[in-house]
Amino acid sequence: MMKWPRLATRLCFFFHILLFAFPLAAEEKLSPQELEFFENKVRPLLSEKCYKCHSAGRKEPKAELYLDTRQGVLAGGESGAALVPGDPSKSLLIEAIRYENPDLQMPPKKKLSAAQIAVLEKWVRLGAPDPRLGKKVVAKTDDEAFDVQERKEAHWSWRPVVNAVPPAVKDRGWPRSPLDQFILSKLDKAELEPNPDAPRRTLIKRTSYALTGLPPSADDVERFVADKSPGAFAALVDNLLKSPHFGEHWAQYWLDLVRFAETKGHEADYPIPEAWRYRDYVIRGFNSDVPYDQWIIEHLAGDLVRSPRIDPELRTNESIQGTGFWYLGEATHSPVDIRGEESERIHNQIDVFSKTFLGLSLGCARCHAHKFDAISQEDYYAMYGYIQSSGFQLADVLEPLRKKEIAVALLGLRETEARKINASFARGKRTQFERLPEYLTAAAEVLKLGPLAGAPAGDSSDIIFEDFEKPGYAGWMVKGLAFGAGPRSQVNLPDYQGDVGARGKGFVNSHSYTVKGKIHAGDELIGSMHSPHFKIERRFINLLVGGGSHKNSTCVDLVVNGKPVASVVGPNLNKMVARSMDASAWAGARAQLRILDSSKGGWGNIGVDHIVFSNKAAAGPAEAGDDAGLAGRIADVAGKRKIQPDVLRRVVAHVERAKKDVHDPLHVFSKLCGAENSQAAVKVRDSVVDQLRRAEVEHQARLAARKVVSNVKNGERNYTKVERKWAEREDLVVDYDDPGADGWIVSGYRFGAGPLRRGQLLIGDEGRPVRGYVEVGRADADEASRKFYGLLRTPTFEVVGDTLWYRVRGSCEAFLAVDSHRTVHGPLHGGVRKRIKGDANTWRWHSHPVRNYLGHRIHIEFSNFSESFAVARVEFNAGTPVDGSPVNQVVLKHIAGLKELGIAGAAAAFSKQLIASMEALDPGASGVGGRGGHARLLNWAIGREDMLEARRPGDLEKLVADYRKSRSELEKTIPGTLRTLAMLDGSGENEPLHIRGNHKNRARENVPRSILTALRTPSEKPGVQARGSGRLELAERLVDRKNPLVARVMVNRVWHHLFGRGIVESCDDFGVMGAPPSHPELLDWLAHHFMENGWSVKNLIRTILLSRTYGMSSSPQTRGSELDPQNRLLHRMGIMRLPAEAIRDKVLAVSGRLDRRLFGKGVMVHITEFMRGNRSPGGSGPLDGNGRRSIYTEVRRNHLPSMLLAFDRPVPFMTMGKRVLSNSPAQALILLNDPFIHQQVDIWSKRLFAQKGLGDKALLVQAYNEAFHRSPRDGEVAAALQFIAAQGKLYDKDSRQQAWRDLLHTLMNVKEFIFIN
Amino acid sequence: MHCRRYLESQVTRRQMLRNSSVGFGALALDMLMAQDCAAEAEGPLAPRNTHFAAKARSIIFLYMDGGVSQVDSFDPKPRLNKEHGKPFSLKMEPTQFNNIGTVYRSHWGFKKYGQCGMDVSGLFPHIGTCADDLALVRSMTAPFSEHNTANFFLHTGFGVQGRPSMGAWATYGLGSECRDLPGYVVLNGGLIPSGGMDNFNSGFLPAAYQGSIFKAGNKPLANIRRREASAALQRSKLALMKKLDFGGLENIGRVDKLESAIANYEMAFRMQAAVPELVDIKGESKKIRGLYGLESSYGPTRSYGLQCLIARRMVEKGVRFIELTCPRISGNDRWDAHGNIRKNHGDNARAVDQPIAGLIKDLKQRGMLDSTLIVFTGEFGRTPFAQGSNGRDHSPFGFSLFLCGGGARGGAIYGATDDYGYRAVENKCELHDLHATMLHLAGMDHKRLTYRFSGRDMRLTDVHGNVLHDIVA
């Protein structure tokens, strides 16, 4: 650039500032230093390095970015503002010049020097002081200049289909159908004569190949040739349309459109599961003549149609199978740029969709508005959203109606029976609950504490009877060697015993006495110790016991009148534990303690310490061991109250335990049992309420403290850990307690009609008729029937944290569909699949690391369930997620409301609460809050059935048994599954524009999913109404008869296949760049006729075939060849080469090897040595493909059959409505030398020769009829016979047969074999 | 040998037929067998005029399957030695295996070669001696990090399946100068690139432009050997076929499609003779065999040497575009050195170094190098930091390749990567630029070489590509 003298520069700009009111002067006056810096450093740099592409001097500045004005810099270009004044790290310009972002590196050729970068960084840091004036020149970009409506009006294919009136023609006798008038009228104008009718032999040949792709049988040919009746041809056409081979032949054309293949190509060529079923669906579809509008609806939204089409024989859901076509494209297995791969996949899907159904190249609008057609870039991304809103599944298609019926029946059965079962269950429970207070008060009596009757009044303090702190066993009578001479202390115990937990120093330990200087290893020593006699004056004898738990052999017994009446044993641990014996039954008696070690086996020892007489038990009754005293008291109380002692024992144990657990519903009761008076009782209640409230507050605090860890930038390696608070809206993926309408996405019936709701009854089996009630709503794979197929998926969401958590019961596989990628094999994406293993009855949180996918949009699919599976919640979390609150609000409310605090009152109130909860969950009950709490309380009670009196026999068992029986009978009728590829509608997703098609550079605003602008009315706003993707709505609008494209494109395709060239030559492009129609009125007449006749493809074909035009001869005529050399006016029929598949099929048919069976899994492709390589599959298919038609040869993208390829079978990557017709030496080499051809010639010649006694002439006639459907002409007979004679001479033996074989091979190479006239 | 190359005006079969008073019938069977150049069929492979004077008449594409490490071959980076074993300090892009090791030095020392003083590593001592003929690019980039997409991109200019390969584009644009061999040949050394045969397909171009897969051996091409016991047995069949076909023409009428299908058999028949002859190297001298490494004790060198030699023979015959795939070397997965790069690159380089140098020298001594463009490249380069402990992962952000002969500027060194050899920082270019340059050297403007498909005029370079004039002589 020209360097201005510094002074001049400065002056110049001061003038500017002075002369013009500098627009920014008010807020930002540039200091002289700033100005100097800009002019000396910044401007020269910008000018030298940037202006070339980013200035008004350029006609189309790159990326619409102008760096030559201040406004241009601030306004920015396609990617947004070029800089943020003051913040270099947020400025795109700086990012670009630092070459930080590989997709944004400026200047593109060479990075600026470090010093130059520093200048611009400094400039931005200073706030980008910039004196430059001038407005950003806004170029009239393509997009702005472009008007969809204008373009639409200007191009023929958007105009409505009109019911064109057939034009008048000179020779009224010629036309057989209105169709012919359109053809003849054009010929008239060109002063051309149509060719005469083709010979009947030619006609049947032409028609047979056109409709079935197979040769006609010799009989059919002769019969037709002989049948001169007027309806003969129509009858022939009808028969051929009825042939099942019609569907095979026409399906292949369709498969070309949807780039059908059975593998995904690329590195490993992974299979597309069940793809062949789509092929069979297409064959069936053409054979059953599915109306074409319905065909489109099935392809776009067959999974969403209200009543799917059912195949009458297979009883499969046909409609949903159409959607499989979306997934027949390529896919890679381990993309580094997973979103980039998605954009390629979706690009292909959009392109195939728009070309196949609309004859439009919507794919051209990926980067910018279509250059020529009425398609905006928004239209492309509006379609993108539809695909992102839908996912892949292997849907169960077998007997959908039957399954639906059964599912509905099962659901209905469950509803009605659950009501009955619940009523019966509630009746029984009510009785049980009503009896509970009796037991609770009895338990309180059993546990009632206080001074022992007969003890000295006024003194109830503990009496330490023995603590073994003296050196010997003074007062004790010791027998045997086990106990040695006196108590042991921890220091002289062998180390292996560890800390035995003694009080003080000394204790009894029968495991550690030395015999001859060695610590006696075993438990061999035995012995006993008897205490001095004492009087029982306290309720309990508390002591520490360790060692073996052998009753009667390692134990401490209470001995009264010489007989042991109570006993405790150790815990099979050296460490001693507290035990208590209830001695109250023997109050005042003279008693003695006996320590016994008479066991020699394992744990044949005992430890004892700290024997205390007390009115309080040191251990609860549950731990009290074999306490004859407690048992006695329970028996007494039970007897007195006439209640069941076993039940009472368990109630006592539970009440005792409940003391320690504030969340136990009986906690408050157990505490109240110990209250001395009513004041103390109030305190107890208030304290419990207080504790529970605090627990709730703590729980809320834990919830509030939840965090999510993620990094700053998406998908980058350089990971910056960022912790932020958990947010319900962002971080909760789905909560099946309340998933909302959009959160419930399933396929199949296994998950029932919706999540299990709180309070629902879980019906059990005979042993346990009721399993309980649902506490928290969940998606449950067990409630409908395990015989159903089921897939559960979440809505689509963005990965915002490092770790996903699933609240799951049982086992399953969780699959992350990241940017719809699903070809999952290592190395990069193995982690998207996670096997979750858990117990069928336990809820657990399982984590799934997803850090690699931060910022990507994903959904999760749950499948491959174990016998039992349910999921309640999916969320992001940094630590372990927080479970539900430990506080049951129903219980809390109950406690807080307790008025009667006496034992009897509290017991009655508890029973009432249980009954109230029961009623609250009655299916008939309405508007009851706290369903979950009631369910939880009742489940607690149901889980403690043994605390209740046995239920009186009622009808519950029978009801449940009947229910299970009806249910299993219904289940038995559930048909098996047959799964095939299909779409599953997901949550509605929209995609922003990718600026210039770059998926890494996205616009800010989403483009709403919508049908093409040009197919909307001008006033209509884009967008979809429906929930989910809205594909059905889209499909229904596409087939609206007002859309002119669908019918025109399809009739043109049919015409193309029948005549070898479409009325519009570019079958897949009806746009401006496509060819204009040669007969536009005819095209409309056909389209109109097609729609009027129920979109019947067979009817359309019939109409065309019965025309005079189709029946013309194909011989070139002199005048026609001169005036219409390309035969665009159809002055004659065209000559066509058979398509690749038909050539191979014909070879098989002629040889006699053809297997005419329909359908089934493809035959593996024959891998020739030239296809074999380091990546080819193991093995190879048979050379002759088992004689099956070509359509049944497996289509592996990386190993396409070479013979078919050579004859222009398209590579399956894009819609191919019109195959290239090539002529290459490879074709000749195949027919001359390929082993398949020679194999078939052998079969053919053997078959011919197997007929005995035929002369050369007769054989030749037969061979000609089979190969060419005619007899040989005289010259041909002569040539052939001459050949046989001459060729035979070249062979030593079997010369005639060899010569014949050569002749037949030659016939296959004669062009008439593969060309149809 | 280039029988069409020097004909001023070309008489096509159709013109001949039109001019001939007796029409097609006069073309006797002898003509089918004849070696008459003038009778060549007009067709998809007929030579076509270039957009401007071509420098390269043939292109040999040496595809280094799996990706050669730039820092171990043509782009020396002393900094790697200094920082060996330290964490990599630049910002890293995600890699395929995501198993990032530390900075990893090269096992091979670099040496300056030729007058240009080009640095070439110890991997390629033979190629080094050709330095003054090489135009080295050190700043190539590719948009994909996985083999399959990168391969499709390298071969077709798109990262997806089904596009025409550059060989197909070249033959579509230029036709073939060879009447008895295909215009586009892939000499398969045993490794089929990731993505399969579609790297060599004609995509939406007619099948005539598809790459023909040759194997170096007795049966080089599918169906090329007649199955008849003698030539006479086949010839009589063809004579009968011809007779019956002509009868058919009289009966059905003369239609282009039929006539060209008939003519097609001529080419096929000639190929039957020409192809075995082509791969029969009995006539090559011991000196030449030695030059190509056919006497090497290392099997893969012999095998690649044979491919290179046959490539030269194809160029002599006028084959337009020849791609060589790498030989299979047991224990190595192509150049794809995710682990033990020392063995991997050592073995692979040993296989190709001498044969490539031999090819360059042989072409040069025959005066054919000026009109034959050789391109040496993988689908991307490799990371300057280790994968695991001793491998390198894929890295497409700056890698090296070279062009040689056919108008490429010998001794040129274009572009540079950063100090680690990780990213291109100077004269960064992309594979579209390579394609544009290759077409340019072959006399074609990449923007004008189009084919209408799918509503668009498609190009090998899509909407991209700049000719790298700095490496054009």
Q: How confident is the model at residue B30 (pLDDT cuts 50, 70, 90)?
A: very low
- Domain-embedded: residue B237: no
The pLDDT of residue B43 is: 66
Match 């009778």 to its residue by tokens. B39
Residues forming a β-bridge with A564: A559
Q: Is B46 on the interface with A (CB under 8 A)?
A: no
Higher pLDDT: B67 or A1198? It is: B67
Q: Which two tokens stand for residue A1228?
A: 């000749």
Q: Are B459 and B450 in contact (CB under 8 A)?
A: yes
Answer yes or no: is pLDDT of B21 > 70: no
Pairing label, strands B100-103, B385-387: antiparallel
B402 vs A260, A1008, B154, B202, B412, CA distance in Å?
Answer: 39, 48, 14, 25, 10
What's the pLDDT at A2? Answer: 41
The size of chain B, in residues, is 473
Q: Which residue has the tokens 């001529």?
A: B266
Model confidence band, residue A605 (pLDDT cutoffs 50, 70, 90): confident
Residue range A832-847: average pLDDT? Answer: 91
Nearest to A1222 among B92, B207, B455 (CB): B207
Using alpha carbons, select from A392, A390, A393, A391 the residue that is nearest to residue A988: A390
Q: Which residues 972-1011 of A have a C-beta within 8 angstroms of B? A: none
User: With an 8 Å Cβ cutoff, are B204 and A99 in contact?
Assistant: no
ipTM for the predicted complex comes to: 0.71
- Which is nearest to A790 in space by CA: A865, A724, A734? A865
Test mutation, B252, B395, B430, chain A, max A CBs within 10 A: B252
Whether B466 contacts chain A with CB within 8 A: no
Could you check whether the bond before residue A107 is cis, i.e. omega within 30 degrees of 0? Answer: yes
> B425 vs A110: CB contact, 8 Å cut-off?
yes
Q: Cα dist. B409→A94, A373, B134, B135, B378 in Å?
A: 36, 44, 7, 5, 20
Which among A334, A1114, A1310 has CB closest to B245?
A1310
Confidence of residue A1156 (pLDDT cuts 50, 70, 90): very high
Confidence check: pLDDT of A723 > 50: yes
pLDDT at site A356: 95
Q: What is the mean pLDDT of residues A111-124?
A: 85
Summarize the confidence of residues A661-669 as an average pLDDT. Answer: 92
Position A584 confidence tier, pLDDT thresholds 50, 70, 90: confident
A165 touches chain B (CB under 8 A): no
Q: Mean pLDDT, to the nearest integer, of B292-297?
A: 93
CA angle A389, A390, A394 (to 5 degrees): 160
Q: How far is A716 from chain B (nearest CA, A)?
A: 7
Amino acid at A231: G
For residue A827, cis peptide bond before it (omega within 30 degrees of 0): yes
Chain B closest-CA separation from residue A1065 CA (Å): 12
Mean local confidence (pLDDT), A25-32: 58
Specify the higher pLDDT residue, A628 or B322: B322
A1116, A1171, A1232 ranked by CB distance to B197: nearest: A1171
Q: Which residue range forms the structural domain that includes residue B379?
A: 43-217+285-471
* pLDDT > 60? residue A1164: yes
CB A827 to CB B426 under 8 A?
no
Point out the residue among B97, B222, B224 whose CB comes nearest to the CB of A827: B97
Retrieve residue A527's tokens: 């012995």
- Cα angle A496, A499, A501 (rounded to 5 degrees) comes to 145
Question: Are the C-beta atoms of B238 and B246 separated by less than 8 Å?
Answer: no
pLDDT at A1104 over 80: yes
Question: Are B425 and A1225 within 8 A, CB to CB?
Answer: no
First-to-last C-alpha distance (Å) of chain B:
27
| pLDDT for residue A1299 is more than 50 | yes
Residue among A1221, A1222, A1311 whose CB faces B248 most closely: A1311
- Interface size, chain A vs chain B, as Cβ–Cβ contacts under 8 Å: 277
- pLDDT the model gives residue A1054: 97
Task: List pLDDT tens digits, range A856-876.
Answer: 999 999 998 877 899 999 999
Q: Tell whether B160 lies on the interface with A, counting CB pairs under 8 A.
A: yes
The answer to whether the beta carbons of residues A765 and A965 sit under 8 Å apart is no
Residue in chain A closest to B456 (alpha carbons) equals: A1073
Whether pLDDT at B7 is above 50: no
The nearest CA of chain B is from the CA of A297 a distance in Å of 24
B250 interfaces chain A, CB cutoff of 8 Å: no
A1115 touches B at CB < 8 Å: yes
Distance (Å, whole) CA B307 – CA B220: 11
Express each pLDDT in A387-411 by its tens digit.
Answer: 999 999 999 999 999 999 999 999 9
Can you tell me the mean pLDDT for A771-786? 89
Q: Are A581 and A467 in contact (CB under 8 A)?
A: no
Q: Which of A1311, A1312, A1313, A1314 to mutate to test the interface with B (most CBs of B within 10 A)?
A: A1311
Q: Per the CB < 8 Å rule, is A1068 touching B191?
A: no
CA distance B460 to chain A (A): 16
Percent above pLDDT 70 for chain B: 89
User: What's the pLDDT band for A1292 if we cut at 50, 70, 90?
Assistant: confident
pLDDT at B275: 87
* Contact B87/A at CB under 8 A: no
Q: Which of A368-377, A417-426, B38-47, B244-253 has the highest mean pLDDT?
A: A417-426
A951-973 per-position pLDDT tens digit = 777 788 899 999 999 999 999 99
Which two three-digit tokens encode residue A1159?
A: 């359908």
Instruction: Write the CA distances from B252 to B256, B258, B368, integer angstroms.
Output: 12, 10, 48
DSSP string, A759-819: T-EEE--SSSSEEEE-SS-BEESSSS-TTS-EEEEPPPEE--SSEEEEEEEE-EEEEEEET
Of the candidates A1049, A1063, A1009, A1074, the residue with the CA atom closest to the CA atom of residue A354: A1049
Choice between B337 and B219, residue whose per-residue pLDDT is larger: B337
Q: Which residues of chain A from 1133 to 1192 reach within 8 Å of chain B, CB to CB?
A: 1135, 1137, 1168-1171, 1173-1176
State how far the Cα of A1022 lies from the Cα of A987, in Å rounded to an integer: 18
Assigned domain for B68 exists: yes
For residue B409, the domain's CATH number is 3.40.720
The 3-state DSSP class for residue A993 equals strand
Q: Is B300 on the interface with A (CB under 8 A)?
A: no
Chain B CA closest to residue A1223:
B261
Residue A588 has a pLDDT of: 82
pLDDT band for position B47 (cuts 50, 70, 90)? confident
Position B108 pLDDT exceeds 90: yes
pLDDT in tens, B111-160: 999 999 999 999 999 999 999 999 999 999 999 888 888 999 999 999 87
Average pLDDT over every residue of A59-69: 74
Mean pLDDT of B444-454: 89
Q: Is residue B17 part of a domain?
A: no
Quote the percentage of chain A above a pLDDT of 70. Answer: 92
Which of B226, B241, B397 comes nearest A1233 by C-beta?
B226
Maximum alpha-carbon separation in chain B = 83
Q: Are A1283 and B454 within 8 A, CB to CB?
A: no
In this predicted structure, the answer to whether residue A520 has a pLDDT above a threshold of 80 is no
Structure tokens at B399: 């890698």
Q: CB-based contact (8 Å) between B262 and chain A?
A: yes
**Per-residue pLDDT at A189 exceeds 60:** yes
Q: What is the pLDDT of residue A713?
A: 53
Least CA distance to A1075: which residue of chain B? B455
Model pTM? 0.77
Counting the structural domains of chain B, the total is 1
Q: Which amino acid is present at B415?
A: G
Asked if B195 and B148 count as a contact pair (C-beta separation under 8 A), the reply is yes
A984-1021: pLDDT as tens digits: 999 999 999 998 888 888 888 899 999 998 888 878 88
Both tokens of B446, joined, read: 């990449």
Mapping DSSP to helix (H, G, I), strand (E, B) and coil, where does residue A727 land?
A: coil
Does B37 fall in a domain? no
For residue A521, pLDDT over 60 is answered with: no
Do residue B265 and residue A1305 have CB atoms under 8 angstroms apart?
Answer: no
CB–CB contact A1287 B233 (8 Å): yes
A1069, A1220, A1305 ranked by CB distance to B237: nearest: A1305
Task: Kindly indicate the confidence band of residue A454, based on its pLDDT and cuts at 50, 70 and 90.
Answer: low
CB-based contact A1115 B253, cutoff 8 Å: yes
Predicted confidence at residue B10, as pLDDT, reads 37
- Smallest Cα distance from B418 to chain A, Å: 10
Q: CA angle, corner A190, sides to A189 and A193, nearest 5?
A: 100
- Both tokens of A758, joined, read 């709180």
Instruction: Report whether pLDDT(B457) > 50.
Output: yes
pLDDT at A8 over 50: no
Q: Which residues of B touch A1202 (CB under 8 A)?
A: 222
Over residues A1030-1054, mean pLDDT: 95
- In this complex, do B44 and A1223 lie within 8 Å of one another by their Cβ atoms? yes
Q: Is the dihedral of CA A996, A1000, A1004, A1008 positive or negative?
A: positive
DSSP B349-410: HHHHHHHHHHHHHHHHHTT-GGGEEEEEE-SSEE-SEEETTTB--EE-SSEEEEEESTTB-T
Q: How far lies A797's CA from each of A102, A742, A814, A855, in Å?
A: 27, 12, 15, 10
Q: Over chain B, what is the mean pLDDT?
A: 85
Beta carbons within 10 angstroms of residue B106's beta carbon: 26
Cβ contact (<8 Å) for B190 and A1174? yes
Q: Contact A1310/B92, CB-based, under 8 Å?
A: no
For residue A805, which of A850, A853, A848 has the smallest C-alpha distance?
A848
Q: Is B195's Cβ below 8 Å from some Cβ in A?
A: yes
Q: Which of residues 329-388 of B touch A (CB under 8 A)?
A: none
- Judged by average pLDDT, the poorest of A300-309, A841-850, B450-459 is B450-459
Average pLDDT of span A97-123: 81
Residue A361 is predicted with a pLDDT of 87
Evaluate if residue A933 carries a pLDDT over 70. Answer: yes
Q: In a mutagenesis test of the A interface, which of B91, B147, B161 is the best target, namely the one with the most A β-carbons within 10 Å? A: B161
Interface test with A, best of B181, B223, B425 (most A CBs within 10 A): B223
pLDDT at A719: 61
Q: How confident is the model at residue A1218 (pLDDT cuts 50, 70, 90)?
A: confident
Determine, for residues B236 and A373 on separate chains, whether the beta-carbon distance falls below 8 Å: no
d(CA A181, CA A197): 16
pLDDT at A181 over 50: yes
The DSSP annotation for A359-410 comes to ---GGGGSSSS-SSSS--HHHHHHHHHHHHTEEEEEEE-B-HHHHHHHHHHH
